[in-house]
Amino acid sequence: MSIISSSRARTAVVAVAAGALALAGCSSSDSGNGKDKSKSKKEAAAQSAAVTMGTAADSTGPAEEVPGAKPGGTIQVYEEDDFSHLDPGQIYVSDAGLLSKLIFRGLTTYKEDDKGALTVVGDLATDPGKMSDGGKTWTYTLKDGIKDETGHVIDSADVRHTFERLYDPFITDGPSYIQQWMSGSGTTYRKAYAGPFKGGKHLPDSVLATPDDKTVVFHFKVAQPDLPQALAMAGYSVVPEKTDTKAKYDTKPVALGPYKVSEFKAGKSVKLVKNTNWDAKSDAMRHQYVDGFNIDINHDDEDQTKTILADRGDAKNAIMMTGQVATTQVQKVVSNAAAMKRTIQGYAPYVWQMNFNMDRIKDKKIRDAITYAMPSTAMYKTDGGAYGGEVANSLMSPTTPGYQKNYDPFDRSKKPNGDIEKAKKLIDEAGAKGMKIVYAYANVPVRQQQAVLVENALTKIGLDVQKKEIDAATWYEQVGKVKNGFDIYMTGWGQDWSSASTVFPPLYDGTQIQDGASNYAHINDDHVNSEIQRILKITDTAEATKAWTALNQYISEKVNPASPIYYTKTFQIAGTNVGGLRYSTVTSYTDPTRVFLKS
């Protein structure tokens, strides 16, 4: 309802890496009585095993039919915020990431079974990739006759162009994993190559080679075992070379998937219609049941929930994309058995953590004290209610491989709402009674309420809390500064694919500390730094996972740069006429590729 709170979603996605490909716990519509919350956690834990690599046979279409699916009709979508980008190269966040599932295709993608287990399969490529040279070289062969919406057949030049255009300065918002793997870390890759538009130069064959029309070969300096998963990110969807309009592409992209954009009005609406050049036989995971999608922007969670719950008119055919059942409406939905049947639930990949600015709070005892004092239960309840989150026991998310359910360094299972006594004792031991703590928070209603809770708890343990409200839109910029002037601040982070390698290096690598970097706590611990470098080089997934788990324990117990507060969960509802409703562990929202209308 509140105007500025509309930026809530935006705050969460700016740096939170919402685009995350999550291996999340799932409970689909049929298992959604919702009372059994622990169940989803168990499933998440079971699935945070690594993703399976598919075969060439897995990569062929058509996708397995959804039981009872019928063609026809138009799905109504209510969204709060505008899609930040339509140009795949700029897509990193969840809203556009969802849309990209419908309109774009990359070299690889995920296939998902009923339990939410994921298999990486070839999408435009015939398989998820052939690794050679110990993971330094990857070869992809394109499927035959895949056309974009204009009828152009995709060839290897288009794939090469897709990666080359990411070096051009106009691309600023998307993921940069593969560019960095190919041409250098940080932003140095941009100096290695200026993009295809100036002078038409290509990346050298020693980096990206296209020996024939159908073959693409990646060469990396070090082994990159995660390439198939990185390629499945929306940001690496293919942009055909001939129809690339650069900056303009952001509003008029060319579709390869089952739907294309027929109308795009910034901040208002998006209409998708069938892409007739899409061939079901070439696609292993997408369907084309409905005729199109009408996406209407500017409906906040409150509005979406009430409208879909009332189930009248268009709302019967409605799904939520990134919307959530509003905090205030949760009780109403949960107490209505019929409505619960059309909800989906699952883990979102984010861990909200209270970062300590380690340049300012140098005493670990004080950090521990604050960690113990955090009222986790009360805090997650303000953000989505009882179904919006769960107390976090560790800095790792239940969706990340290597997560341990029983690892509980701060007694969160016994005292989920904080252990004031213990915290007080620690503060007394540290002699920090009356110490000034500057607590920064984004100025939106949810964070304001949480600030009251935090202040309440920290005052009880004898600290002098100075609350500092920060403009929500520039929140991550301000706390991302090395000299931000704050002591504690809460940030959220989610994995980009199911590996801790997309979580630990960005958050805890001390060599990365600089303005704008995501090491918000400014932790710079030699052991952590060297471990991160070591584990990143491990090609065996199981071994790497084990090592991340051990590092997680070291970080929390020996350094404690951040207090785990809560994990976020997805709780969405759809109209009564919508079939095929399923929580997608890939996007951590309703899977839009398999929905259909019952009548």
Partner 1 sequence: MTSPIEIEGAEASTEVDEQTPQKGSDAPEKLEGRSPGQLMWRRFKRDRTGVVSAYVVLFFFLIAALAPLISKLYGKNPYTLYGQDDPLLLNDFNMPAGPNGGITSEYWFGIEPTLGRDVFTQLLYGMRTSLYTALAATVAMVFMGVLIGLFGGYFGGKVDYWLGRLTDFLLAFPQQLFMIASMPVITAVFVAPDEETPTYIHALAIIGVLWFLGWMGLARLIRAVTLSLREREFVEAAKVAGASPWRIIRKELLPNLVTPILVQGTYMLPSTILSVAFLSFVGVGYTEPTPDWGRMFAIGSDIYEQDPVYMFFPGVAMVIFVVAFNLLGDSVRDAFDPKTGR
Partner 2 sequence: MLRFILRRTFGAVLILLLISAFTFFMYYAIPQDPATLACGKNCTPDALAIIHKNLGLDDPIPVQYWKFLSGLFAGRDFAVGHCPAPCFGVSFRDQQMVWDTIMDRFPLTLSLTIGGLLVFLIVGLGTGLIAARYRGTWLDKTFSSISLVLSSMQIYFLGPVVLGIFVYSTGWLDKPKYVPFSENPAQWFMGLLIPWIVMSVIFTANYTRMSRSTMIEQLQEEHVRAARAKGMTGRYVFFRYAWRGSLIPILTILGMDLSALLGGAVVTEFTFGLAGIGRLAVDSVVGKDLPKLMGVMLFSAAFILLLNVIVDALYAVIDPRVRLS
Interface with partner 2 (CB under 8 A) = 1, 3-4, 6-7, 10, 14-15, 17, 78, 82, 84, 92, 169-170, 172-176, 186-187, 190, 246-248, 250-251, 265-269, 296-300, 302-303, 306-307, 309-310, 312-313, 315, 471-474, 476-477, 480, 506, 514-518
- Taking the least distance from each CB to partner 1, the nearer of 50 and 438 is 438
Contact (Cβ atoms closer than 8 angstroms) between residue 39 and residue 405: no
Q: How far is CA 378 from CA 90, 350, 386, 387, in A?
A: 36, 18, 10, 13
- 282 contact, one of partner 1, partner 2, none, CB 5-8 Å limit per kind: none
- 58 contact, one of partner 2, partner 1, none, CB 5-8 Å limit per kind: none
- Taking the least distance from each CB to partner 2, the nearer of 58 and 173 is 173
Contact (Cβ atoms closer than 8 angstroms) between residue 371 and residue 353: no
What is the number of other CB atoms lying within 10 angstroms of the CB of residue 57? 9
Smallest gap from residue 192 Cβ to partner 2 (A): 13
Told to check if 568 binds partner 1 by CB under 8 A, we report: no
- Taking the least distance from each CB to partner 1, the nearer of 88 and 375 is 375
Residue 253 gets which letter from DSSP? P
Contact (Cβ atoms closer than 8 angstroms) between residue 439 and residue 468: yes
Smallest gap from residue 504 Cβ to partner 2 (A): 15
Kind and range of the H or E run holding 390: strand 389-391
Give Dmax (Cα) for the chain.
Answer: 72
Helix spans in 511-587 (H): 526-536, 541-554
Which of 456, 512, 529, 576 binds partner 1 (CB under 8 A)? It is 456
Smallest gap from residue 302 Cβ to partner 1 (A): 6
Smallest gap from residue 453 Cβ to partner 1 (A): 7
Site track for partner 1 across 297-326, x = CB under 8 A = -----x------------------------
Using DSSP bridges, classify how beta strands 436-442 and 464-470 pair: parallel, antiparallel or unpaired.
parallel
Footprint on residues 219-238 left by partner 1 (CB under 8 A): none
Residues touching partner 1, count (CB under 8 A)? 38
- 169 contact, one of partner 2, partner 1, none, CB 5-8 Å limit per kind: partner 2
- Taking the least distance from each CB to partner 1, the nearer of 290 and 454 is 454
Tell me which stretch binds partner 1 (CB under 8 A): 345-353, 450-458, 516-524, 577-585: 450-458
Site track for partner 1 across 379-418, x = CB under 8 A = --xx--xx------------------------------x-
Told to check if 471 binds partner 1 by CB under 8 A, we report: yes
Smallest gap from residue 177 Cβ to partner 2 (A): 10
- 309 contact, one of partner 1, partner 2, none, CB 5-8 Å limit per kind: partner 2
What is the number of other CB atoms lying within 10 angstroms of the CB of residue 392? 26
Told to check if 443 binds partner 1 by CB under 8 A, we report: yes
- 378 contact, one of partner 2, partner 1, none, CB 5-8 Å limit per kind: partner 1
Kind and range of the H or E run holding 570: strand 562-573
Enumerate the β-bridge partners of residue 491: 353
Told to check if 157 binds partner 1 by CB under 8 A, we report: no
Taking 3-state DSSP, the helix, strand and coil percentages for the chain, each rounded to the nearest 5, stand at: 35, 20, 45
Q: Which amino acid is at 5?
A: S
Told to check if 550 binds partner 1 by CB under 8 A, we report: no
Distance CA 175, CA 14 (A): 12
Quote the Cα angle for 109-112-116, to 5°.
135
Smallest gap from residue 445 Cβ to partner 1 (A): 7
Told to check if 31 binds partner 1 by CB under 8 A, we report: no
Sign of CA dihedral 125, 127, 130, 136: positive
Strands (E), 210-282: 215-219, 259-265, 269-274
- Taking the least distance from each CB to partner 2, the nearer of 346 and 506 is 506
Tell me which stretch binds partner 1 (CB under 8 A): 104-112, 252-260, 268-276, 447-455: 447-455
- Taking the least distance from each CB to partner 1, the nearer of 432 and 470 is 470
Footprint on residues 324-353 left by partner 1 (CB under 8 A): 327-332, 334
What is the Cα 456 distance to its own chain's centre? Answer: 32
Smallest gap from residue 400 Cβ to partner 2 (A): 17
- Taking the least distance from each CB to partner 2, the nearer of 14 and 437 is 14
Distance CA 198, CA 337 (A): 60
Residue found by looking up tokens 């301000």 in the block: 478
The residue among 321, 384, 303 whose CA lies nearest residue 2 is 303
The radius of gyration of the chain from alpha carbons, rounded to an integer in Å, stands at 23
- 452 contact, one of partner 2, partner 1, none, CB 5-8 Å limit per kind: partner 1
Site track for partner 1 across 486-515, x = CB under 8 A = x-----------------------------
- 353 contact, one of partner 1, partner 2, none, CB 5-8 Å limit per kind: none
- 14 contact, one of partner 1, partner 2, none, CB 5-8 Å limit per kind: partner 2
Smallest gap from residue 559 Cβ to partner 1 (A): 24
Q: Cβ neighbours of residue 484 under 8 Å, at least 6 residues apart? A: 357, 440, 478
Q: Cβ neighbours of residue 256 under 8 Å, at least 6 residues apart? A: 103, 104, 105, 124, 146, 147, 148, 149, 154, 237, 238, 240, 275, 278
Q: Which amino acid is at 177?
A: Y
Which of 453, 523, 578, 597 binds partner 1 (CB under 8 A)? It is 453
Distance CA 324, CA 169 (A): 35
Tell me which stretch binds partner 1 (CB under 8 A): 131-139, 244-252, 436-444, 544-552: 436-444
Q: Which amino acid is at 461?
A: I
Contact (Cβ atoms closer than 8 angstroms) between residue 500 and residue 532: no
Write out the two tokens for 68.
């009872």
Distance CA 269, CA 260 (A): 14
Smallest gap from residue 381 Cβ to partner 1 (A): 5
Contact (Cβ atoms closer than 8 angstroms) between residue 79 and residue 296: yes
What is the number of other CB atoms lying within 10 angstroms of the CB of residue 35? 8
Q: How many helices (H) and strands (E) does the chain have?
A: 18, 21
Residues of this chain that bind partner 1 (CB under 8 A): 1-5, 302, 327-332, 334, 375, 378, 381-382, 385-386, 417, 438, 443-445, 448-449, 451-453, 455-456, 466-469, 471, 485-486
